[in-house]
Structure 1
Amino acid sequence: MSASNAITVARLPDGRVSIGRGTWSDTFPEDRREPWAAWYESMFVQYGYAGYRQMAEALRALQSA
C-alpha cells in the first residue's frame, strides 16, 4: 500500500477518533469507534473489499482512551 493510501487512525486531543485514507477522512466520538469498526467488518463480509476489513482492523488496533 502506498503512503498516500495508508490508513491513519489517531485519537485527537479532545478524545475524538480520526481515521483517514488518501484524501478521505472522518472524525467521530470514541464511543462510535467500535460501531464503525463493526460496520466496516460487515461491509467486508457483504462485498469482499479488503479495504473495509483494513479499516475495521485499524480502528480496533487503536488503544482505548
Structure 2
Amino acid sequence: MIETSDLECTIIHPGWFVNGPVDYEVTEPFGGHDVSIKSIAVLVEKLIVKNLYLRERVGSNTSN
C-alpha cells in the first residue's frame, strides 16, 4: 500500500543493526550484512534534508 500511494517516502532495508562507527553504503535494494545504528541515523538525516531516493527502496550496509 505504501509503495502505490502518493506519499513521499523512502523504504530502507538496513542490514543487521550493530554498534560501530559511521561507515555505510547505499545499495538498491540490498547488498550486505550489517550496518551500525549511527550509520542508519546519518542516512535517514541525509534522506530527509536532501530529499534523496523519494518513492524508492534502498538498502544500507557497512561499506567494507
Q: Which has the higher contact order (CA 8 A, sep 6+)?
A: 2
Please indicate, yes or no, whether the TM-score normalized by the shorter chain is above 0.5.
no
TM-score by length of 1: 0.35
Higher helix share: 1
